[in-house]
Amino acid sequence: MFENETRLTDHGNESIREPLLTVCEYALRRVHPSVSVENAVSSVDGTLSVDGVEYDLDAVDDVYVIAAGKGSSAAAETLQRILGDDLTAGIVVEKHGQKRDVSGVEVLEASHPIPDETGSDAARKVTALADEAGENDVVFACITGGASAQLVSPPEGVTVDELATLTRLLLNAGVRIDEVNAVRKHVSDIKGGQLRESIEPATPITLVLVDEVAGEPWGPTAPDETTYHDAIRVLRRHDLWEETPRSIRTHLRRGANGEIPETPSEIRQETGRTVVLADATDVCEAACGKARELGYNSTILSSVIEGESQDVGIVLASIGKEISRSDRPIETPCILVSGGETTVSLDDDGGRGGPNQELAVRVATEIDRITDVGLLAIGTDGTDGPTDIAGGLVDDRTAGRAREQNVDLFDHLARHDTSPALESLSDAVYTGATGTNVMDLRLLIVE
């Protein structure tokens, strides 16, 4: 899984680097769709079973698959293997560069995290397939993180470029993902449960990898409890309202005034099924179990950590220092696990990096010379921010190595330009597309 594993373990504090990679790889494999979809779905002798609910395939005309998000092709591929000839057709929308062939299914690519016309084209095809499904059909919707950016369907009067501008504003301001989605769902004709309305009267079955701290099923087939008023409040709260394109402000005002229907807040559960394949809790529990198997005391700090990456990095490093000095709140050797999703607030001149890379570099500066402490922080989908780097692996010797190589970690942090620093130190982690996506995973080790 780790494309540069040898390079990551041939320097620094090697004895604590190897177990971090071992624990991480095990955890990611446990939440891969090839495992979680097979645990939830089976098809035997004409009976389709989804999370214990059975469907008679002899009474079904067609079975379709719609999959969107980073790693969604892995879920579609597993479904294709389970359904075999019972699968009629399908569409997968993957992130650019992560496309893989799935038999009997059309695979498209779209931009992430900033939407573009490829996502608009994909949304039109997805909606057309949903509209095609009839009353006696079943439509699987496999949703993973990234689907919100990759399925783009702007409402009348709004362009894709204006949605891209809005997305940049939200991301650069470090807005929490639940707030980002409250806005995006109300500037779309497909998000916030609206795709489910296109699928019906066919039977919708949603399989979702949860990559939001709220921990609830989400996506274009899930109900939406937020409103146009909520979207406006988010933009005003973060001082983004005046910078938001005029067409979007007009659209949100019309929605708030009741001139445009709200996104569906309820769905008819009896006509379908929604199954959570895996979430941050699952990946954290898998990591914790593997760490104990390797002989480490282990606990989950939290699976829902949010906040600025550097702030979270300082807190994690402080916990590592306390354990190293006083064997509290847990005795060494130990691996502390955390999940969630941190953010980075960017200036206009921000450099190259991502939240996990920034967190890792911040930790490296704080654990300098604190013996036998290390951290692995990655995005579970294999990408961190707008880079092809998954995250960073640092230890108590990283800062010293940086000084020897004239790499100023504090300067890189100040400029939010952490990718070059980690690359220079051979501490950037590369996994390629992992096929899953359950937010971020952080492993803090103290020997």
* Cis before 333? omega within 30: yes
Q: What is the pLDDT, as a whole number, of residue 146? A: 87
What are the strands, taking DSSP E only, across 170-293? 203-209, 273-278
Whole-number Å distance between alpha carbons of 200 and 332: 55
State phi, psi for 106 to the nearest 5 degrees.
-80, 125
In 3D space, the residue among 418, 351, 427 whose CA is nearest the CA of residue 20 turns out to be 427
Q: What's the pLDDT at 219?
A: 86
* pLDDT at position 271: 67
Distance CA 359, CA 384 (A): 11
Report DSSP state, residue 45: T
Within 10 Å of residue 349's Cβ, how many Cβ atoms? 8
Q: How big is the CA angle at 211 (ends 263 and 251), to the nearest 5 degrees?
A: 30
Question: Are the CB atoms for 91 and 106 separated by under 8 Å?
Answer: yes
Lookup: tokens for 50? 């989804």
Q: Output Rg (C-alpha) for the chain, integer angstroms.
A: 22
Q: How far apart are CA 154 and CA 149, in angstroms?
A: 12
Averaged over successive runs of 10 residues, the pLDDT of the chain (447 residues) comes to 94 96 97 92 95 94 95 91 95 88 92 94 96 96 91 96 96 90 96 93 93 78 93 97 98 97 76 88 97 98 95 98 96 97 84 96 96 96 93 98 98 97 98 91 97
Q: Read off the amino acid at residue 310.
A: Q
Q: What contacts 350, CB < 8 A, 6 or more positions away?
A: 172, 344, 415, 416, 417
Q: Tell me what pLDDT residue 4 has.
A: 93
pLDDT at 99: 80
Structure tokens at 308: 């600025």
- Enter the tokens of residue 163: 């949605």
Structural domains of the chain sorted by starting position, each given as residue range(s) with its CATH number in brackets = 5-30+280-446 (3.40.1480.10), 34-153+188-226+263-278 (3.40.50.10180)
| Residue 36: exposure state from Cβ atoms within 10 A (0-12, 13-18, ≥19) | buried
